[in-house]
């Protein structure tokens, strides 16, 4: 397989561990393992203490799959397949569903693998562009109009990376209803699910919406445990899941034994885990509201509706790539220019899931103060 470089991941490979403040991270501040293990119940504490480091069950630990299933309304443990992060799940599903002659539609700008893997597999992939002028809204009618006879898959990421877009329930129902009628698969990338700023905005999961709906989940974002590298697909289409399982034999075969148990502990304690993530995000959002209000002459943003990232725009004439390069040099604060998404204009991704965000923002603010607009 020949596949284009994943621009954002190459960017992070260069910078992530070399800067003082990552003001563009998409995850929530990672848990300390000792704090997580302290949340274990009797059963998971015993599983952790007695864990043997052999191969694990290929579809995922039965207790983990059962726990993941409780995140959905219509999903049973056998409707869940565990992967090494969301990334492996995207890779397997795209390869299973898409090949030469197939067509897919994917929200864009977005996480590159959601469209790149399908293209590398030989499919024709159309991008459903979200537009700042529309508040980055998903346009169900425009998306439906781009469906063709060969369309096999529609991919929607919501809450969305990088804009924080979250469709209203009616728009979501319009799209999922249409896909159900047309017997097209939906990959709902829900890795930021449970981080809706208003819980009333949480959408029905893709897997619950219709039988060919597939939900993509992961421990990395809302659950703040990216280092576990545990993700999953959930769908009532067991035939599709079986094909993904067969494909996974060529990638990781089975998950990491310690990571599975830690993910189980985290999901069983999800009230505590999610409450912590929401608290970090809400506190940081307050800072950002003030920041964007104070710097409205230099920066604009569409306030996100969920997740831990947004996609503001620098209004200065200076290109964002040059601005970001000077910022990281001067303050050790990293922004992610929109060019890493292949997106034209002066946008950048800002992340607000990290506990050092106020310090990172202070660095950006100092820098803005020094580099007065020409």
Ligand X SMILES: Cc1ncc(COP(=O)(O)O)c(C=O)c1O
Q: Which stretch binds ligand X (CB under 6 A): 58-66, 73-81, 83-91, 120-128?
A: 83-91
Give the contact letters, 155-194, x = binds to ligand X (CB under 6 A), - = no: --x---x---------------------------x-x---
**CB nearer to ligand X: pick between 158 and 327:** 158
**CB nearer to ligand X: pick between 155 and 327:** 155
Q: Which residue is it, tokens 């959002």?
A: 285
Beta bridge partners, 155, equal 106, 187
* Number of residue whose CB is nearest ligand X: 85
Query: CA 361 to CA 349: how far, in whole Å?
Result: 13
Does 368 participate in binding ligand X (rule CB under 6 A)?
no
Does 231 participate in binding ligand X (rule CB under 6 A)?
yes
**CB nearer to ligand X: pick between 264 and 368:** 264
Residues 6 or more apart in contact with residue 49 via CB below 8 angstroms: none
Cβ(217)–Cβ(188) under 8 Å?
A: no
Of these, 56, 95, 151, 220, which contacts ligand X (CB under 6 A)? 220
Residue 8 sits at the vertex; the CA angle it makes with 167 and 58, to the nearest 5 degrees, is 80
Q: Which stretch binds ligand X (CB under 6 A): 28-36, 85-93, 124-132, 141-149?
A: 85-93
**CB nearer to ligand X: pick between 218 and 335:** 218
247 sits in which H/E element: helix 238-248
**CB nearer to ligand X: pick between 26 and 215:** 26
Cβ(150)–Cβ(289) under 8 Å?
A: no
- What's the closest the beta carbon of residue 59 comes to ligand X, in angstroms? 18
Cβ(175)–Cβ(140) under 8 Å?
A: yes
Residue 294 sits at the vertex; the CA angle it makes with 293 and 299, to the nearest 5 degrees, is 75
Does 85 participate in binding ligand X (rule CB under 6 A)?
yes
Comparing C-alpha atoms, which of 186, 205, 183, 184 is closest to residue 194? 205
Does 56 participate in binding ligand X (rule CB under 6 A)?
no
Does 97 participate in binding ligand X (rule CB under 6 A)?
no
Q: DSSP label at 156?
A: E
Does 255 participate in binding ligand X (rule CB under 6 A)?
no
Q: Which of the residues 268 through 327 are near ligand X (CB under 6 A)?
A: none
Q: DSSP label at 116?
A: H
Does 111 participate in binding ligand X (rule CB under 6 A)?
yes
Structure tokens at 351: 């992340």
Structure tokens at 165: 């877009």
Does 86 participate in binding ligand X (rule CB under 6 A)?
yes
3-class DSSP state of 256:
coil
- What's the closest the beta carbon of residue 66 comes to ligand X, in angstroms? 21
300 φ, ψ (degrees, to nearest 5): -130, 155
- What's the closest the beta carbon of residue 160 comes to ligand X, in angstroms? 7
Cβ(64)–Cβ(281) under 8 Å?
A: no
- What's the closest the beta carbon of residue 157 comes to ligand X, in angstroms? 5
**CB nearer to ligand X: pick between 206 and 368:** 206
Q: Which of the residues 62 through 81 are near ligand X (CB under 6 A)?
A: none
Does 266 participate in binding ligand X (rule CB under 6 A)?
no
Does 105 participate in binding ligand X (rule CB under 6 A)?
no
Buried b / exposed e over 215-244, threshold 16 CB at 10 Å, is bbbbbbbbbbbbebbbbbbbbbbeebbebb
Does 340 participate in binding ligand X (rule CB under 6 A)?
no
Q: Return residues touching ligand X (CB under 6 A).
A: 26, 85-87, 111, 157, 161, 189, 191, 218, 220, 226, 231
């Amino acid at each position: 397989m020949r596949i284009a470089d994943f621009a954002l991941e190459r960017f992070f490979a260069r910078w992530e561990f070399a800067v003082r403040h990552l003001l563009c991270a998409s995850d929530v501040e990672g848990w300390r393992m000792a704090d997580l293990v302290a949340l274990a119940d009797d059963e998971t504490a015993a599983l952790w203490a007695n864990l043997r480091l052999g191969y694990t069950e290929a579809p995922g630990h039965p207790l983990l799959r059962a726990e993941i299933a409780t995140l959905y309304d219509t999903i049973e443990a056998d409707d869940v397949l565990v992967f090494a992060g969301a990334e492996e799940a995207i890779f397997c599903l795209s390869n299973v569903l898409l090949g030469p002659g197939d067509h897919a539609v994917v929200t864009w700008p977005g996480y590159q693998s959601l469209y790149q893997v399908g293209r590398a597999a030989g499919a024709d992939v159309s991008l459903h562009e979200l537009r700042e002028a529309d508040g980055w809204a998903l346009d169900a009618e425009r998306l439906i109009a781009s469906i063709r006879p060969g369309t096999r898959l529609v991919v929607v990421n919501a809450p969305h990376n990088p804009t924080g877009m979250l469709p209203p329930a009616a728009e979501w129902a319009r799209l999922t209803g249409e896909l159900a009628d047309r017997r097209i698969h939906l990959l709902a990338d829900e890795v930021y699910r449970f981080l809706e700023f208003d819980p009333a905005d949480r959408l029905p999961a893709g897997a619950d919406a219709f039988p060919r709906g597939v939900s993509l989940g992961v421990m990395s974002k809302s659950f703040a445990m990216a280092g576990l590298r545990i993700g999953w697909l959930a769908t009532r289409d067991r035939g599709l899941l079986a094909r993904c399982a067969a494909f996974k034999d060529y990638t990781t075969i089975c998950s990491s034994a310690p990571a599975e148990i830690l993910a189980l502990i985290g999901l069983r304690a999800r009230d505590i885990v999610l409450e912590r993530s929401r608290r970090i995000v809400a506190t940081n959002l307050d800072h950002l509201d003030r920041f964007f209000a104070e710097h409205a002459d230099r920066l604009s943003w569409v306030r996100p509706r969920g997740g831990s990232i947004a996609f503001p725009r620098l209004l200065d004439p200076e290109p964002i790539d040059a601005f970001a390069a000077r910022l990281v040099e001067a303050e050790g604060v990293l922004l992610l220019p929109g060019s890493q998404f292949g997106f034209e204009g002066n946008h950048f991704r800002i992340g607000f899931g990290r506990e050092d965000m106020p310090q990172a923002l202070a660095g950006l603010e100092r820098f803005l103060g020094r580099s007065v607009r020409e």
